[in-house]
Chain A
């Protein structure tokens, strides 16, 4: 995630459970046994990560394909 898009998301979203603001944190995402640290937004309290469409359909999809590719 670029810093600017993280900032923009941060200003829009809050945690629906506890109402806390979000913060940038490194979250481990893994696929087929391989994990990678990715900076994304998480709730300050619950730590639940927010995966925006851009990340899911962009980098994550690309890595999924890469790892599945023979």
Chain B
């Protein structure tokens, strides 16, 4: 579960455009596509886990959902003043069991140190047949498993997982994945914006990792050994 201070990858744009939760790859359009795949009832209750500054939350409310947001960062939550939010960790959401029709988690699942316990908590919150909707980064190609070490020093990338790992964790928590859509193009477009903003991918990697030398290794890793991708998925609580 991220607080936004940890989320350096997507906070790069934070100064004027907010962090990823505002300006994540694909934006609201992607969120709405993913949500639409669930065909939620008109006034469904939706939890936005790691809601950030509340852009999605606002959109959910505008669409008529009973939307509640949680985030660890009070700073972020203050920006959501007119919305229903509470400061909470994904592992301990102060909501009753079987109370939600959907849980949405955008660009945060791989940041979570405790992905499994967060998924377990979401399972608890959801009604039978309820939906889990996730958008996030994943490892699209892994040519050298040892290259994973190189990501460790780079904040949020350290939690990135392969599709197989993500699927098995989500299904292991009792969900059935109904949709998995690769959105790597959207991620690349986002990276391209970074290039124009910061000057080069290298400059981007330098911001990601603490030091110069780290950025070299990271650039090499992300160029050759690991290819990142982006996805949205929707999964249903079964069994």
Contacts and interface: CB of A to CB of B under 8 A. Distances in A.
Size category of the A interface is 10 to 19
Contacts, number: 33
A70 B189 CA distance: 14
B44 interface: no
A20 interface: no
Minimum-distance CB pairs A-B, first 8? A63-B192, A34-B189, A62-B195, A63-B195, A59-B195, A38-B196, A36-B196, A59-B196
Interface residues of B, number: 12
B195 A70 contact: no
B193 A66 contact: no
B185 A66 contact: no
Interface of A: 2, 34, 36-38, 58-59, 62-63, 66-67, 69-70
9 contacts: A34-B185, A34-B188, A36-B196, A58-B200, A59-B195, A62-B195, A62-B201, A63-B192, A67-B192
B178 interface: no
Contacts of A36: 189, 192-193, 196
Interface string B194-208: 011001110000000
Interface string B9-28: 00000000000000000000
Nearest to A31: B192
Contacts of B189: 34, 36
